[in-house]
Amino acid sequence: MGARERAHARRSFRRAHRLRAERRGVVAVIGTLLALLVFFALFGIFLTQYVPLWMTDNEAEFTAQAAASFAQLKSAIDTQYVLGGPQSYGTPVVISSNGIPLLAQPTEGSLQFIPQSCPAPTVASGDTYYTYPNGFYTSGATGESKTNLGQPVNAAACTFANVTETTGPGGSGPYYQAIQTGVIQFVLPNRYYSAQTLYLEDDAVIQSQGGGLSVMSIPPPLNITRVGANTTVWSSLVQLWGNASSVVGTGTEQVYTHLRYTQLVTSNGALNSATDTYTPFTFQYEIGTQYPCAWGSFFNNLVYNTSGLPSADFSLSTGPTYASTPVTTYFTTQGTSCTSTDGATQVLTITIDDVNFAAYYLAGVQVGIGVGST
């Protein structure tokens, strides 16, 4: 009897011990699950709250770096054509933002050079075929007139700039100079910060946030001053040319600019031998661009707020190709609602009358992206 009771007691003890061990195991599992739930909750908060804030800061810094790089690039081009050198200049451009290790990839920008090419069609007239050099109407060309001289034959497919003077250098007759501008474009497809696109066109930096909305971030050297009764105009025509190229990736990319030619063109009107004075003339600056909102607001601010010109001495208009476009569509103050989403070239013109002296730099800069570019 005693042996059986002792055996039964041992079995009961082992059974109770197993039950207590199982209870401790269940508690351990529940504790682990609760700890994992707390971890995943905190990790979820980190992913949905802290990571977006972190990446917003990274992309904001990326956008600021891109704007600074384009300002440096414009400054380098200005130095080259004004001083005649250095012949070649490299500007570093950061083409991606910082990322978050293991959590978020860097935002990669797209840096492109687009050497806009104005079509030069061959047009038949009877049995004769006429070719327009560089796609522009020139003196004596078929279809050339006072209204289209120096303008592209197909303005909707061409980005260009044109300077026209009723009295050219040295007191010569009517004078014009037209160039194809070319565009350096940097697309920043930000995911957390606002997406941006930067453009360098005819020595001006334009910044757009999509939807056709754009502003003149850094204006071109187009200045109009009036001192007493004398009006002076300074400007530039900067042509960017070379092979089309595009870079998408991370890190930093070099944009090389190679100065090919530069010339300062001046005019002070025609000499009146009877009075020994120079007769004022008319200066016209025309831009064919896909960013008319930025250029139009710049022109508007220039003549109304900074030039000091009386309203009778200037006019703003759309080009002959788009004569039906209301002037007020694009010539607005900076920040005023203005959109252009059709992607076609718009022609904007600023005309200054009674000019006593005008000067502009005519320059050509070859663009290359990446080491070894020419």
Report how far apart, in Å, the C-alpha atoms of 374 and of each of 69, 76, 110, 231, 256 are: 20, 17, 20, 41, 8
Distance, CA of 356 to CA of 313 (rounded, Å) = 12
In a domain, 358, yes or no: yes
Residue 258, domain extent = 52-118+154-369
Phi, psi of 35 (to 5 degrees): -65, -40
Distance, CA of 165 to CA of 154 (rounded, Å) = 22
In a domain, 281, yes or no: yes
| 340 or 12: which leads in pLDDT | 340
Q: pLDDT band for 365, please (50, 70, 90 cuts).
A: very high
pLDDT computed for residue 197 by the predictor: 92
3-state SS, one letter per residue, for the chain: CHHHHHHHHHHHHHHHHHHHHHHHHHHHHHHHHHHHHHHHHHHHHHHHHHHHHHHHHHHHHHHHHHHHHHHHHHHHHHHHHHHCCCCEEEEEEECECCCECCCECCCECEEEEECCCCCCCEEEECCEEEECHHHECCCCCCCCCCCCCCCECCHHHCCEEEEEECCCHHHCCCEEEEEECCEEEEEECCCCCCCEEEEEECCEEEEECCCCCEEEEECCCCEEEEECCEEEEEEEEEEEECCCEEEECCCEEEEEEEEEEEEEEEECCEEECCCCEEECEEEEEEEEECCHHHHHHHHHHHHHHHCCCCHHHEEEEECHHHCCCCHHHCCCCCCCCCCCCCCCCEEEEEEEEEECEEEEEEEEEEEEECCCCC
What's the one-letter identity of residue 27? V
Phi, psi of 309 (to 5 degrees): -80, 145
pLDDT computed for residue 184 by the predictor: 94
Tokens 């100065």 -> residue: 259
pLDDT computed for residue 32 by the predictor: 75
Q: Give the lowest-confidence range in 119-123, 191-195, 277-281, 309-313.
A: 119-123
Residue range 109-128: mean pLDDT, rounded: 70
Q: In the predicted model, what is the mean pLDDT of the chain?
A: 81
Most confident of 54-58, 206-210, 280-284: 280-284
Q: Give the lowest-confidence range in 133-137, 205-209, 290-294, 354-358.
A: 133-137
Q: Give the lowest-confidence range in 88-92, 270-274, 323-327.
A: 323-327
CB contact at 8 A, 295 and 287: yes
Q: pLDDT band for 302, please (50, 70, 90 cuts).
A: very high
Give 166-206 pLDDT, tens digit per residue.
Answer: 998 988 888 888 888 889 999 999 988 989 999 999 999 99
Residue range 60-75: mean pLDDT, rounded: 94
Residue range 70-93: mean pLDDT, rounded: 92
Q: pLDDT band for 121, please (50, 70, 90 cuts).
A: low
In a domain, 374, yes or no: no
- Number of domains composing the chain: 1
Does 118 score more than 90 pLDDT? no
Q: Give the lowest-confidence range in 15-19, 131-135, 300-304.
A: 15-19
CB contact at 8 A, 280 and 269: yes
pLDDT computed for residue 204 by the predictor: 95
pLDDT computed for residue 8 by the predictor: 55
Q: pLDDT band for 253, please (50, 70, 90 cuts).
A: very high
Please choose, from the candidates 211, 182, 208, the residue with its C-alpha nearest in 3D space to the C-alpha of residue 197. 208
Does 126 score more than 70 pLDDT? no
CB contact at 8 A, 235 and 351: no
In a domain, 132, yes or no: no
Does 141 score more than 70 pLDDT? no
In a domain, 56, yes or no: yes
Please choose, from the candidates 77, 201, 178, 164, the residue with its C-alpha nearest in 3D space to the C-alpha of residue 118. 178
What global pTM score does this model have?
0.80
Residue 351, token pair as written in the block: 């005309």
Does 359 score more than 70 pLDDT? yes
In a domain, 228, yes or no: yes
Q: Give the lowest-confidence range in 6-10, 201-205, 281-285, 289-293.
A: 6-10
In a domain, 14, yes or no: no
In a domain, 134, yes or no: no
pLDDT computed for residue 288 by the predictor: 85
Give 223-240 pLDDT, tens digit per residue.
Answer: 999 988 899 999 999 999
Q: Edge-to-edge strands of the sheet including 314-318?
A: 175-180, 160-165, 281-289, 346-355, 314-318
Give 21-62 pLDDT, tens digit per residue.
Answer: 555 556 676 777 777 777 776 666 666 767 788 888 899 999
